[in-house]
Amino acid sequence: MNAQDVLFRTLADPTRRALFERLCREGEKTVGALTARAGVSQPVVSKHLGVLKQAGLVRDRHQGRETHYSAQLVALVPLVDWTREMAGFWESRFDDLEDLLKRMDQ
Amino acid sequence: MIDTATEMRSVVVEREIPYPPEKLWRALTQPHLIEEWLMKNDFKPVAGHRFNLRRDPQPNVSVVVDCEVLEVEPNKTLSYTWAAYGLESVVTFTLTPIGTGTHLRMEQAGFRPDQHQAFKGAKAGWLQFLAALEKLLTRAD
């Protein structure tokens, strides 16, 4: 699996995606703080955070007994690449569209 | 942070076309013309019509996009859903007459992680889709 594959698989789960989005919006959080509003139990939250961490989407930091998690936006780069490729796709389609319009004149 | 995240969830390509909207509209809505610049298709300019866009860049590689027409406003707006390999998005073409022709705007939106369908089933299919697209782009060069 490459980075893109891992990224989309990881974000496919709505609960996991919600955790990631919350870290993006609100910054660093402990597992406890995330659990309080996640609607699932702490072990489930921890499991999702583990998957996010493996995908490089979050980073953990240990402080005393607490583990703090933060979002790693750099992991979203493959998504940006995709967008760029899609834009390139449409640009080249539009080149062909313009060629077609020229031919339609004749 | 959120702005960056929102931005990458849609693709906008704009171009000034030196032809009137009516002519451009034909190229966007007539199947034999769509095939010339986009892909093979069974498109009809009727809201609710389901169709496929298909391209076979190599004998063993097919790009198939499932679509449904959402909005048809002749010479002005055309939008349809665009689903391929687990990705669901909406493509909207907006035509605006300008002095020398038409301003064409294409927006492909709906990659937001909060739209459940967008990432559903995404997996190896993405790679296939991207590989196919890349081949198309190379060929178009």
- What residues of A are in contact with residue B110 (Cβ under 8 Å)? none
Q: Tell me what percent of the residues of chain A surpass a pLDDT of 70.
A: 86
Q: In the prediction, which pLDDT does A44 show? A: 96
Give tens-digit pLDDT for B87-99.
667 899 999 999 9
Residue of B nearest to A91 (CA): B13
Residues 6+ positions from B55 with CB-CB distance below 8 Å: B39, B40, B62, B63, B132, B136
Contact B54, B84 (CB under 8 A): no
Q: How far apart are CA B81 and CA B51, in angstroms?
A: 10
Give A72-77's long-range contacts (Cβ < 8 A, gap of 24+). A73/A24, A73/B1, A73/B4, A73/B5, A75/A7, A76/A7, A76/B5, A76/B8, A77/A3
The better pLDDT of the pair B57, A20 is held by A20
- What residues of A are in contact with residue B133 (Cβ under 8 Å)? 85-86, 89
Q: In the prediction, which pLDDT does B57 show? A: 67
Pairwise CB contact (< 8 Å): B1 & A73: yes
- What residues of A are in contact with residue B121 (Cβ under 8 Å)? 12
What would the DSSP string read from start to end of B9-69?
Answer: TEEEEEEEESS-HHHHHHHHH-HHHHHHHS-EE---SSTT-EEEEEEEEETTEEEEEEEEE
Count how many pairs of residues, chain A against chain B, have C-beta atoms within 8 Å.
Answer: 105
- Residue A3, chain B, CB below 8 Å: the answer is no
- What residues of B are in contact with residue A91 (Cβ under 8 Å)? 13
Give tens-digit pLDDT for B61-83.
677 888 999 999 999 999 998 87
Would the pLDDT of A98 be above 80? yes
Q: How far apart are CA A85 and CA A63, in angstroms?
A: 41
pTM: 0.58
- Which residues 5-44 of A are in CB contact (within 8 Å) with B? 5, 8-9, 11-12, 14, 17, 20-21, 24-25
Helix (H) or strand (E) holding A5: helix A3-11
User: Which residue in B15, B127, B140 is closest to A5 by CB distance?
Assistant: B127
Cα dihedral B82, B42, A97, B28 in deg (nearest 10): -80
The two structure tokens encoding residue A38: 């996640």
The overall average pLDDT reported for chain A is: 85
The two structure tokens encoding residue A11: 């974000």
- What residues of B are in contact with residue A99 (Cβ under 8 Å)? 37
Residue of A nearest to B116 (CA): A14
Give tens-digit pLDDT for A39-74.
899 999 999 999 999 988 899 999 998 999 998 877
Give tens-digit pLDDT for B14-35.
999 999 999 999 999 999 999 9
Q: In the prediction, which pLDDT does A14 show? A: 78
Q: What is residue A58's three-state secondary structure? A: strand
Residue of A nearest to B21 (CA): A101
Contact B14, B103 (CB under 8 A): yes
Distance from CA of B18 to the nearest CA of A (A): 9
**Chain-centroid distance, C-alpha B26:** 16
Contact B140, A92 (CB under 8 A): yes
Would the pLDDT of A88 be above 60? yes
- What residues of A are in contact with residue B122 (Cβ under 8 Å)? 8-9, 12
